Chain A
Amino acid sequence: MMSCFYKQITGFDCPGCGMQRSFIELLKGNFKESFYLYPPLLPTLFTLGLTVWHLVFKLKNGAAFIKYSFITTTSIVVISYIIKMLR
């Protein structure tokens, strides 16, 4: 696993820390543990998958869907990071 430069220096988590652990748990099939490790992983994967789907199959309103799912993904990332820091 790639180690986080920011976490090595400061000791705090960065907004992306936990993503690789969560992804490994997801590959093992443990959805619950992957959600607890890093909640925004599934929305991020959904947005990336939606983008690929839209670029391949040319959905009609795909651009708007991608925009809104991107906005929700970023807000989930920020909110979960704030909750993780306050805890």
Chain B
Amino acid sequence: MENQGTPNQENINQQFNQQFGQTFGQQQLPNSTGVLVLGIISIVGCFCYGIIGLILGIIALVLASKANALYQQNPGSYSEASVKNMKAGKVCAIIGTCLSAIVIVIVIIELIFFASVFSSMPWGHLFNGVR
């Protein structure tokens, strides 16, 4: 009840930013386009090796979380388009990271399978018989 009469400093800052942010020209969120581009390239890089997509996706997720923390501090001072870019890029990066992680797990399982198959074959007998 007491807080209603005296709004604290953060509320004043938020109201100020919401009211005058558009007139003063809003900043772009840092790395918003970078997050979008990295998130989309992560799906292209996830196919063959899996590692490229994982690295790009994790970089995009880290950048997105940093940008999201900045945006939560004072929303309204950043332009809406860059925030949308950042959120779309975050979704793309999550999907790309998940897919490339699945691909890496499958590759590791198959490598273990093939390694066990080849190591359990009787190579010594085969070569001794040939020579």
Interface residues of A (CB under 8 A from B): 4-6, 9-10, 14-17, 19, 44, 47-48, 51, 55, 58, 63-64, 66-67, 70-71, 73-74, 77-78
* B47 CB, min distance to chain A CBs, angstroms: 2
A63 in contact with B47 (CB, 8 Å): no
- Do A19 and B84 touch (CB < 8 A)? no
- Subset of 12 A-B contacts with CB under 8 Å: A5-B48, A14-B47, A15-B47, A48-B40, A51-B40, A55-B33, A58-B81, A63-B81, A64-B84, A64-B88, A70-B92, A73-B43
Chain B proximity of A27: nearest CB distance (Å)? 18
| Contact of A67 with B48 in the complex, beta carbons under 8 Å | no
A17 to B46, CA, bound (A): 12
Q: Give the interface size bracket for B toward A.
A: 20 to 34
Given contacts A44-B44, A64-B88, A78-B99, 13 further A-B contacts (CB under 8 A): A9-B114, A17-B48, A47-B40, A48-B40, A48-B44, A55-B33, A55-B36, A55-B37, A67-B88, A67-B91, A70-B88, A71-B91, A77-B43
In the complex, what distance in Å separates the CA atom of A55 from the CA atom of B48? 27
Contact with A along B16-47 (1 / 0, CB 8 A): 00000000000000000100110110011011
Once the chains bind, are A63 and B88 in contact (CB under 8 Å)? Answer: yes
Check if B95 sits within 8 Å of A74, measured CB to CB.
yes
CB distance from A70 to the nearest CB of B (A): 5
Taking CB atoms and an 8 Å cut-off, the chain B residues in 72-100 that contact chain A are 81, 84-85, 87-88, 91-92, 95-96, 99
Q: Which residues of A contact B33 (CB under 8 A)?
A: 55
